[in-house]
Amino acid sequence: MVGILDGPPTYVIENLAELSNDLDNHLPFKKIDKNVMIASWNIRAFGNLTRKWESDNTDSPKRDLHSILCISEIIKRFDVIAVQEVKANIRALRDTMKLLGSNWSLILTDVTKGSAGNGERMAYIFDTRRVQLSGLACELVIPKEWKYGIDDDAMEDQFVRTPYAVSFKSNETTFILVTVHIKYGKKSIDRIGELKAIARWMTNWASDINAYHQNLILLGDFNINERGDLLDKTFLSEGLYVPEQLQKPEITRSIFNTSKYYDQIAWFNSSKNIPKLSMEFITGGNYDFVPIALKSRNLSKRKLSFMLSDHYPLWAEFEF
């Protein structure tokens, strides 16, 4: 059995070189003591792995070593990335960390139990040369007294997958990332309770003058099908802000449907007497890996989604 650190075949090396060049052309570079690159990526069913360079029709899962090299090549362009859909089996994650090397680290939750939680974890992967943990790691739990949504019982239970908050420090600036994977439900109204709950939680935290730090950034998979009302009447109504660059129609979230608006990066921007970030937002976008990753294998988008993901990574660049 081959391992992730073994020398890959020539066609894999060539594909990685092409992917690296494409990333150079579409993402900002990391600048020492100048910027921080923050990203979110729902990596579809990021769990087990077939340890071959190229999986075949008899293999399960389909994700193989070539796929992991592509995923790692994308991840290393960011300083810290929130990852959703990490499964109980973390073989693919372990191999990703081996590839990234000793300068990279991760912190993650335990597995969410119950069928609704889909056996998932949430994780942060970060480049320790540029970002360090600064002491806070917690899962957000709502008080019993809170009720949300358009019905009295819209949010009586806790989050299906508990939001995960971790504080980081980069260039003497501390920021807290809160990542979520909102339950999808059977219809859009099923998401309102959790969306409003996390928005109100963030508002209360950011408004507290005794809070650990005011640099709060919310990111993850919000399972918002389309731009418009669901976004406006949930966390935007609480004062959270999504920059225009991430709301452009061309900044798509799904590799299948350009109208989907699942993933978000949001923060407070001097509304409701909540201080704005001490970091300056510069730009942001997605990264479309579909034309390049595993290119020589002529995969359908459906097959590619199980090798890499059905979501694009979403990113934001900040300067200090």
pLDDT digits (tens, 9 = 90+) for 226-254: 776 566 666 677 778 899 999 999 999 99
pLDDT mean across residues, the chain: 87
Residue 256: is its pLDDT beyond 70?
yes
Q: Which of 123-127, 159-163, 299-303 is predicted least confidently?
A: 159-163
**pTM of the predicted protein model:** 0.92
Q: Per residue in 189-209, pLDDT tens?
A: 666 777 777 777 788 777 774
How are beta strands 35-46 and 80-87 bridged, if at all? parallel
Sequence-distant (6+) residues with CB within 8 A of 225 are: 188, 259, 260, 261, 262
Burial classification of residue 209, based on how many CB atoms lie within 10 Å of its CB (0-12 exposed, 13-18 middle, 19 or more buried): exposed
The pLDDT score that the predictor gives to residue 152 is 44
Average pLDDT over residues 128-153: 74
Q: How far is CA 57 from the centre of its chain?
A: 29
Domain 10-319: give its CATH superfamily.
Endonuclease/exonuclease/phosphatase (3.60.10.10)
Residue 282: is its pLDDT beyond 70?
yes
d(CA 311, CA 260): 10
Which of 111 and 155 is assigned the larger pLDDT? 111
d(CA 277, CA 282): 12
d(CA 228, CA 242): 12
CA distances to 209, 210, 211, 240 from 206, rounded to whole Å, are 8, 9, 7, 11
**SS3 of 130, please?**
coil
* DSSP label of 110: P
The pLDDT score that the predictor gives to residue 210 is 47
The pLDDT score that the predictor gives to residue 202 is 81
Residue 48: is its pLDDT beyond 60?
yes
Work out the number of other CB atoms within 10 angstroms of the CB of residue 1: 6
Which of 115 and 113 is assigned the larger pLDDT? 113
Residue 117: is its pLDDT beyond 70?
no
Report the amino acid identity of residue 114: G
- E strands present in the chain: 35-46, 80-87, 104-108, 120-127, 132-139, 164-170, 173-181, 216-221, 240-241, 263-268, 280-286, 314-319
Q: Which of 14-28, 56-70, 192-206, 258-272 is predicted least confidently?
A: 192-206
d(CA 247, CA 258): 12
